[in-house]
Chain A
Amino acid sequence: MRAFEYTSPKTVSAAADLLAEKGDQARVLAGGTDLIVQVREGKRHLERIVDIKDIPEANVLTCDAQAGLHLGSAVPCYKIYGDKAIASAYPALADSTHIIGGTAIQGRAAVGGNLCNASPAADTIPALIVLEGICVIAGTNGTREVPVEQFCTGPGTTVLENGEFLESLKIPAPKSHSSSFYLRFIPRNEMDIAVVGAGASVVLDDAKESIVSARIALAAVAPTPLFAEEASALLAGRSASDESAIEEAAEAAKAIARPISDMRGSAEQRVHLVGVLTKRALNGAIQRVKES
């Protein structure tokens, strides 16, 4: 591993300065489960690592019935699925944080890190998208907000500018009769990167019979995680037990998938799986509303 400098600022502004000073030669360290591996493998050459785990704003974790969830960018996965209130309000987020890596990875890996690493296969990003997550971005000139679905710009790239970093994520409070679901396909049962991932959230009417609105998002089928906007829109007003509606949404999701073939799966297999997983995610979310 090439040499770099290690810094652990205590404030948002100190972190922004440390980052700004080195441009693309500096990067944020959250759980390090991507970053340290990438630096060791020579995929990134850095002069400075900025550990944000001592910054209070990066460690906030509050869940409020009105304000929603405020999630610091360095909060590790286990704190999310391990918190009953968060897990029941944001099931897709709990699903996705519970399957990243293994226990030891979940002890360190942050949702913020998963998002900023901007892997097309990242598990929490579809969950954040269907939950309408907002990125709070801090920089040398204060903060700005960007919806999660606009955050990633390509494999490993994001809208973050020089000197900026992700401070936290905000997720609105869940609507009534709503729920969400995330799942992925992997050849093993754990310790694998998604061949395809699919997240869905649904809002049902008071009778829990028809779909008021839905959101579908996909992982590992394009250069960035995808918000399947058209597929989602198709579902509004349809019956929640109408398999053909789910089927149509799955087909629409397949239509926007433009995966590559690699060692984790072929393009053909991935497109097929988009259909399978989209249906399972939607049905899973609907089931959860009905059971709630």
Chain B
Amino acid sequence: MPDKVHVKTVINGEAVEFLCEPRDSLLEVLRDNLMLTGAKEGCNNGNCGACSVILDGRLVNSCIVLGAEIEGKEVETVEGLAEHNKLHPIQDAFLENAALQCGVCTPGFLMAAKALLNENPNPTEHDVRFWLAGNLCRCTGYDKIVRAVLDAAETMSTEVNV
């Protein structure tokens, strides 16, 4: 059995160190080692987006990233989205638009939406639908999710302008 790897990283703005097996995925490390269970496992092979997190500014499926790979990198998870207990505009928009039913896909969608709005603050409906295609939701039919993301984009752009 190969030795465990010692990894130093930054998660949600805080320095974190952990030991993991080389075969542990980032998702396993987050959920089992670090108790950050916000990212969910829906498929464990990159097909559903429930495990989406942001790694060095890019959206990734944490189930197909190795824990060992995040040495020296920065990870953002859903747990870090609200700051000082103030919900992020995307979180507010999801609540106001009733963009979740069971909610298991929600952490993934929130992170994917955040990555989208970082890169494209004024997306069209088409942009949103294309960007979020890797995040599956079986409950909502996506209508309210797409509206929530468009609403959040609007709120965020007016907040910036104010």
Contacts and interface: CB of A to CB of B under 8 A. Distances in A.
B106 to A, nearest CB: 16
B134 A103 contact: yes
Contacts of A107: 55, 58-60
Contacts of B139: none
Give the interface SS of chain B, mostly helix, strand, loop or mixed. mixed
Contact of A103 (B1, B59, B65, B66): B59
Contact of A190 (B52, B60, B61, B133): B133
Interface in A194-236: none
B2 A3 contact: yes
Interface residues of B, number: 33
B52 A104 contact: yes
B45 interface: yes
Contacts of B65: 32, 36, 108
Contact of A36 (B47, B59, B64): B64
A103 B2 contact: no
B91 interface: no
B124 to A, nearest CB: 15
B112 interface: yes
B44 A40 contact: yes
Interface in B112-162: 112, 115-116, 130-135
A1 interface: yes
Contacts of B64: 32-33, 36-37, 108
A32 B55 CA distance: 14
Nearest to B57: A107
Contact of B134 (A3, A6, A190): A190
B9 to A, nearest CB: 14
Interface residues of A, number: 30
A104 B49 contact: yes
A37 B5 contact: no
Interface in A112-144: none
B103 interface: no
Nearest to A102: B134
Given A3-B22, A49-B22, A104 B45 contact: no
A158 to B, nearest CB: 22
- Best-surrounded residue of B44, B45, B115, B133 (most CB of chain A within 10 A): B133
A33 B71 CA distance: 19
A256 interface: no
A5 interface: yes
A8 B45 CA distance: 22
Contacts of B52: 104
A107 B65 CA distance: 11
B25 interface: yes
A244 interface: no
A51 B69 contact: yes
Contacts of A108: 58, 60-61, 64-65
Interface in B39-59: 44-47, 49, 52, 55, 58-59
10 contacts: A3-B21, A5-B2, A5-B22, A8-B69, A37-B46, A101-B46, A102-B134, A104-B49, A105-B134, A190-B130
Pick the 9 closest A-B CB pairs, nearest first.
A102-B134, A6-B22, A190-B133, A107-B58, A5-B2, A6-B68, A36-B64, A37-B45, A104-B59
Interface of B: 1-2, 5, 21-23, 25, 44-47, 49, 52, 55, 58-61, 64-66, 68-69, 71, 112, 115-116, 130-135
Interface of A: 1-6, 8, 29, 32-33, 36-37, 39-41, 49, 51, 53, 76, 78, 101-105, 107-108, 189-191
